[in-house]
Amino acid sequence: MFPLGKIKTGILAVVLFTPFAAGDAPLPETLLCVGDPQRPVRVEVASTPEQRARGLMERDRLAADAGMLFRFDPPATAEQGFYMYRTRIPLDIAFLDADGRILDIQTMTPCESRVAVLCRVYRPGQGYHQALEVNAGYFQRHGIRPGDRVRPARGDTCR
């Protein structure tokens, strides 16, 4: 997955085709509580443009209760979205407001194209502060829907 917004073509080419080293530094992790009842999800946190650009690309699997949280400061605009270029596993994405309320949930499928700009872009239709990616079907299986909240865990629990 890759966040994609209004980017000039020259910059887009640099970002999309910059190689990522296999030894990239691990991202910070945290535990989130999602939905009602609260479900724990261990996430990697992508806060910088480089971390968000890398996202979950090139991974073959994601643990059942794991994901990636993308933070935006300043918040992302309605035109900014995500695509699945070089992402191998189907994912659900929840777009979150400043209070962690889910604005929209979409299921994203891997893009088969070798040309990044031919991949579908997933946008929530409104600005957002964060986006949470988990395995496809996670939100539906757990009855999580727009309006539900995502919050940081207290310690190592969602109680």
State the average pLDDT over residues 80-100: 97
State the Cα–Cα distance between residues 8 and 136, nearest whole angstrom.
31
76, 104 Cβ separation under 8 angstroms: no
109-151 residue pLDDT tens: 999 999 999 999 999 999 999 999 999 999 999 999 999 999 9
CA 132 to chain centre: 4
State the Cα–Cα distance between residues 37 and 35, nearest whole angstrom.
6
Above 70 in pLDDT, residue 11? no
Helices (H) and strands (E) counted in the chain, each on its own, are 3, 10
Q: What is the pLDDT of residue 24?
A: 67
20-68 residue pLDDT tens: 444 468 999 999 999 989 999 999 999 999 999 999 999 999 999 999 9
| Domain ranges (residues) in the chain | 2-15+27-150
90, 107 Cβ separation under 8 angstroms: yes
119-129 residue pLDDT tens: 999 999 999 99
Least confident among 2-11, 16-25, 102-111, 131-140 = 2-11
Q: What is the pLDDT of residue 21?
A: 44
Q: What is the pLDDT of residue 155?
A: 87
CATH architecture group of domain 2-15+27-150:
Sandwich (2.60)
**Among 27, 22, 25, which Cα is nearest to 47's?**
27
Q: What is the amino acid identity at position 90?
A: P
Residue 35, token pair as written in the block:
């939905």
Q: What is the pLDDT of residue 18?
A: 39
pLDDT band at 159 (very low <50, low <70, confident <90, very high): confident
